[in-house]
Structure 1
Amino acid sequence: MLSPDLTNAVWRKSSRSSGGSANCVELATDGTTWAAIRDSKDPSGPALIFPRSSLNSLLLQVKTGGLDPQ
């Protein structure tokens, strides 16, 4: 997968993020091809980019603790 140009991406902050929270993530997607996640404290930093078709699976793993260290 080629890396998409995120220059004009529309980023959405997690609904779980609150005003002073230090644990905020943002999500951008083109709706069909790719999704990207970044740390909202470092908007010019790196983003994790993956196929859009994997987004629901990733979010389910995060919500259920499937990615938490054992």
Structure 2
Amino acid sequence: MTTESPNWFKSSHSSNGGDCVEVATNLVPEHRTVPVRDSKNPTGPELAMNADAFAAFVTGLKAGHL
């Protein structure tokens, strides 16, 4: 079951330093989109990334390329 509203979450690796992003992966199955936002400004702008581009971004981060 999917929804039109993003279900936001932060990584479990996030510290409480405030420099976090939130993502909503619940829109991937239907829309192939991963919204991203600044956790300090939840009413601010959102960046909508293609699911494949987001996966490549995370892979690059984990590999230390970014």
Per the shorter chain, which TM-score range? Answer: 0.7 to 0.9
SS of 2:13's equivalent? coil
Residue identity over aligned pairs, in percent, reads: 37
C-alpha RMSD over aligned residues: 1.7
TM-score (norm 1): 0.69
- Flag the structure with more relative contact order, 1 or 2, with Cα contacts below 8 A and sequence separation at least 6: 2
Task: Tell me the residue number matched to 2:46.
Answer: 47
**Which residue pairs with 2:63 in the alignment?**
64
The structure richer in strand per residue is: 1
Q: Which has the higher helix share?
A: 2
Distance (Å, rounded) in 2 between the aligned partners of 1:66 and 1:38: 22
Gaps of 5+ in 2: none
1:16 to 8, 13, 24: 13
SS in 2 for 1:22: coil
Number of aligned residue pairs: give it: 60
Paired residue type of 1:24: C
Q: Taking structure 2 as the reference length, what is the TM-score of the superposition? A: 0.72
